[in-house]
Structure 1
Amino acid sequence: MLIAAIAIILVIIMVGVAAACLINAGRSSLLQEAATVETSEDAVSHDDGKTVTYNGKTYRLNENVTSICVIGNDQESSVPAEGFNGQADVIMVMALDTETGEITGISIPRDSMVEVNRNYHGSDKLYDTKRLQISLAYAYGTSDEASSELVCTAASRILYNIPINYYYTISMSGIAALADAVDGVTVEALETIPNTSIREGETVILYGKEALRYVQWRDATEYGSALDRQARQQQFVSALASQALETAKSNPSVLVDLFNTMSAYSTTNLGAAEFSYLASIVVGHGVESLDLTSLQGESVYNEESPWEQFILDKDAVYQTVLDVYYTPVE
């Protein structure tokens, strides 16, 4: 979704706009110098986390990588008693290496436990910070913009303070329209979905409401069902992005349709300059797909909460951060 939008934005901007100036401005905005990056307790660093030694290997922070948090909100469902604005059912941090064009999506399970900033009811003033599922971070904003920023902050905390200043948020209700905009999304069904024609193991083309059902349904009575749904969401996003870009080779208008469809359901703080810079990287490197990885951990139930919690494996998360954002030093 995000990759397709970036490509079409470049086409639009190139008409009658000083694209080179926008690209330079976008680069300056997106590639800001990182603040202190946290390190694992087992890592050693003497330069604010920019160079670290971990498990006998030395890594250097790749400052050419920029991150965008892609969020899917569930505003169609009931709002939590303590919140205002729904929850974040999909949280993926897209890391783009501006030198190579490589894109890695880091999927953060919605029930991952993290310190969440909670605002006063009806305002964007910080009330306190509490350890909660990251999906609830979205609930404490008074607007989609404020909610998205809260999710970015929580995601950055999980990823050892890697800066995540930009977001692209889409309502889950837009999934049906997105699937239709690319004439259906082809996947091999990972599960049988009730009240649909989708059967596990079968290759299906997802349109409209069945596409939404595929990425949204889960059996809340089944332990670990949130992770099963996350796997389907990752599969859908990857297939949609690859399919849209492949189709655009012979029919560029599909990107126009996709971008227009997304606009009706999305919120972002990426401006024309940032989009044009990202687009120049994606188009320049001929990016046709993205790699996806999921943060590892364990689903548990805590006596203090009736809701499932995902306890992240700190060592595995830190290794993911090193693999995505750092370069090994010989």
Structure 2
Amino acid sequence: MTEKKRFRGRAVKAAGVVLGCALVLGGGGAGWAYWHLNRNIHSVDIDGALGDDRPARADAADPSPAPSASPAPPVEKGVLNLLVLGSDSRSGKENKKLGGGDSGGARSDTAMVLHLNADRSEATVVSIPRDTLVERPSCPTESGGTSAPAYGAMFNSAYALGGPVCAVKTVETLTGVRMDHYLEVDFAGFARLIDALGGVDVTTDEDIDDELSQLHLRAGPHHLDGRTALAFARTRHGVGDGSDLGRIRLQQQLVKALADQVSGSGLLTSPARLYRVADAATGALTTDTGLDSLTKLSDLARSLQDLSGDAVRTVMMPVVPAPSDRNRVVADEPEAEKLWESLR
């Protein structure tokens, strides 16, 4: 078995442990815990804000689709595409202390599209570099108006401008793929989750010395606490060519380390520790209104329980240096379009 297949198997096992957390805490005798954890989850009405001017749902190609007036099918059924973002939207001063930027703004440093096929036998995870220059469409604003469209804008500027709604609309414009659901992980909450798990172990193959992320590591093995793990996920300077592509590589390494930690932590044998981890995890989440409860998240997790690790494909959107700015990238066509077509 290859290392990639072993990693995918660990990731699926980790997902099973997380599912167990939701089911244990959502069961009888834990009413207060369920209420508290459910209350932790923030949500945004993406569908209500964007209306009908969006790509068709993947299931629209089904020979017998549900009537248009019918509600969306349960999250555990059908083809799904989810936009997963990492952001500092709720971190404020805490984010700044953790090595983030100015506490007055909100940014998304991590973006992935998770594609699940109808019977959950296959999944594809596509990373989108934050430095990608894109067409940013007109987006609803908090004041009730709309923003002007922009061309050649940084991908992550959409989130800074209009939050989750504009991020989703920009991804749909870029890919032509309907985002059925939205999951956002707050960076400060992510750091608390790492601490609740007892940290993670990584091995670096080069020195990392980045003042901006406050990360200073010698090549070799390291045990990272929440603050350092977050810096590891966000650093880019001094790694590879200093671009976002190097950061994505480190993020993939951290996901592997986190999967190892979760799957080997024995959480289900320690209710107190399980609660601390679940509290940190739910406190870090913002979802669309279709996933804004432990019950809905558990439904989604249940639908993944038979997904084989070997059937999970991880890729990055094909990109090339931008002609207008060699420090930025643009989608490499037609390869990028072929990738998105496979997810529609």
Task: Please indicate, yes or no, whether the TM-score normalized by the shorter chain is above 0.5.
Answer: yes
Secondary structure of the corresponding residue to residue 241 of structure 1:
helix
The residue aligned with 1:10 is 23
Q: 1:137 aligns with which of 158, 174, 182?
A: 158
CA distance in 1, matches of 2:85, 2:136: 16
Q: Residues 280 and 122 from structure 1, CA distance in 2 versus in 1: closer, same or farther, beyond 3 angstroms? A: closer
User: Which digits, 9 at most, give the CA deviation of each residue in 1:172-225, with x for residues without a partner?
Assistant: 22332222222222223254222656233x232221222122112222999542
CA distance in 2, matches of 1:104, 1:37: 17
User: Which digits, 9 at most, give the CA deviation of each residue in 1:36-79, with x for residues without a partner?
Assistant: 489xxxxxxxxx9889xxxxxxxxxxx93312211111354446
Q: Residues 275 and 121 from structure 1, CA distance in 2 versus in 1: closer, same or farther, beyond 3 angstroms? A: closer
Pair 1:149-2:189 in alignment: no
- Asked if the contact 1:111/1:309 (under 8 Å) is kept, the reply is yes
Q: 1:93 aligns with which of 89, 92, 113?
A: 113
Q: Which amino acid aligns with 2:207?
A: T
CA distance in 1, matches of 2:148, 2:206: 40
Shift of 1:97: 3.1
- Kindly, what percent of the aligned residue pairs are identical? 22
- Asked if the contact 1:69/1:164 (under 8 Å) is kept, the reply is yes
Worse-matched range after superposition: 287-296 or 99-108:
287-296
CA distance in 2, matches of 1:289, 1:10: 25
User: Which digits, 9 at most, give the CA deviation of each residue in 1:140-190, with x for residues without a partner?
Assistant: 12xxxxx1122122222222x221132111222233222222222222325
Pair 1:112-2:132 in alignment: yes
Give the paired residue count.
278
Q: Which amino acid aligns with 1:281?
A: S
CA distance in 1, matches of 2:172, 2:258: 26
The residue aligned with 2:74 is none
Q: Which amino acid aligns with 2:315?
A: T
Pair 1:309-2:328 in alignment: yes
Q: Which amino acid aligns with 2:155?
A: I
Pair 1:103-2:103 in alignment: no
The residue aligned with 1:210 is 228
Secondary structure of the corresponding residue to residue 125 of structure 2:
strand
CA distance in 2, matches of 1:221, 1:243: 24
CA distance in 2, matches of 1:240, 1:5: 12
Q: Residues 319 and 245 from structure 1, CA distance in 2 versus in 1: closer, same or farther, beyond 3 angstroms? A: farther
Q: Residues 314 and 119 from structure 1, CA distance in 2 versus in 1: closer, same or farther, beyond 3 angstroms? A: same
Shift of 1:130: 1.1
Q: 1:260 aligns with which of 267, 272, 279?
A: 279
CA distance in 1, matches of 2:270, 2:122: 22
Secondary structure of the corresponding residue to residue 130 of structure 2:
coil
Q: Which amino acid aligns with 1:310?
A: V
Shift of 1:85: 4.4
Q: Residues 69 and 238 from structure 1, CA distance in 2 versus in 1: closer, same or farther, beyond 3 angstroms? A: farther
Shift of 1:248: 4.6
Q: Which amino acid aligns with 2:146?
A: L
The residue aligned with 2:143 is 123
- Asked if the contact 1:10/1:280 (under 8 Å) is kept, the reply is no
Shift of 1:290: 5.3
Q: Which amino acid aligns with 1:320?
A: L
- Asked if the contact 1:107/1:294 (under 8 Å) is kept, the reply is yes
Query: What is the Cα-based RMSD across aligned positions, in Å?
Result: 3.9
Shift of 1:91: 0.4
Q: Residues 158 and 248 from structure 1, CA distance in 2 versus in 1: closer, same or farther, beyond 3 angstroms? A: farther
Structure 2 unaligned spans of 5+:
1-10, 31-46, 48-53, 64-76, 90-94
- Asked if the contact 2:122/2:308 (under 8 Å) is kept, the reply is no
Shift of 1:277: 1.9
User: Which digits, 9 at most, give the CA deviation of each residue in 1:69-117, with x for residues without a partner?
Assistant: 111113544469xxx8422100011222351354332110001122223
Secondary structure of the corresponding residue to residue 176 of structure 1:
helix
CA distance in 2, matches of 1:252, 1:104: 33
Shift of 1:319: 3.1
1:31-42 mapped onto 2 (5 Å cutoff): 35-36=55-56
Q: Residues 111 and 280 from structure 1, CA distance in 2 versus in 1: closer, same or farther, beyond 3 angstroms? A: same
The residue aligned with 1:245 is 263
Q: Residues 173 and 286 from structure 1, CA distance in 2 versus in 1: closer, same or farther, beyond 3 angstroms? A: same
TM-score (norm 2): 0.66
TM-score (norm 1): 0.69
The residue aligned with 1:163 is 178
Q: Which amino acid aligns with 1:111?
A: D
The residue aligned with 2:41 is none
Q: Residues 231 and 281 from structure 1, CA distance in 2 versus in 1: closer, same or farther, beyond 3 angstroms? A: same
Secondary structure of the corresponding residue to residue 314 of structure 1:
coil
CA distance in 2, matches of 1:292, 1:37: 22
